[in-house]
Amino acid sequence: MSVSRKRALEYADKVISVPRAHVRVTLRQVKEGVTLLHQGKALTKCYINRSGMRTARFVAEALGVEVPPLGGSVEAVVSTGVLWRAISISCLDLRKEESFPILERLLEEATLQRGSSSDSL
């Protein structure tokens, strides 16, 4: 049984509450959607629908990786600051126009925090 998005976000809050420079995360796509994992536990989910898959692409961009193909996964090592931004992006409702300035800002900050070197594995 998969964990709910609410429970995943509760776990994410615990992970990002302790600042760290290097947190290993996995972005995995299955038939239900795209899930961001840390140590095998879900941090957030983007469901399979137009808005969810669009959001998943932006979460991946914030992490500095591509959305993996169905059944695949990709790993990244990022700071808790970048992770917070990726999780925040996953919570945006991209059906609302007001979300786009926030999205743009979060992506810009994540890119700056990742620096010139890639944190993806």
Q: For the segment 105-118, what is each residue's pLDDT rounded down to a tens digit?
A: 999 999 999 985 44
Q: pLDDT exceeding 90 applies to what percent of the chain?
A: 83
Prediction pTM value = 0.90
Answer whether residue 119 is part of any domain: no
pLDDT in the model for residue 116: 52
119 falls in which pLDDT band (50, 70, 90)? very low
> What digits encode the pLDDT tens for the residues 59-89?
999 999 999 999 999 999 999 999 999 999 9
Instruction: Retrieve residue 107's tokens.
Output: 């992506």
Residue 42, helix vs strand vs coil: strand
Q: Is residue 118 part of a domain?
A: no
Distances (CA, A) of 28 to 17, 36, 84: 23, 6, 18
Is residue 12 a part of any domain in this protein? yes
94 falls within a domain = yes
Q: Which range marks the domain in which residue 42 is found?
A: 5-111
pLDDT at 4: 82
Cβ atoms of 64 and 120 within 8 Å: the answer is yes
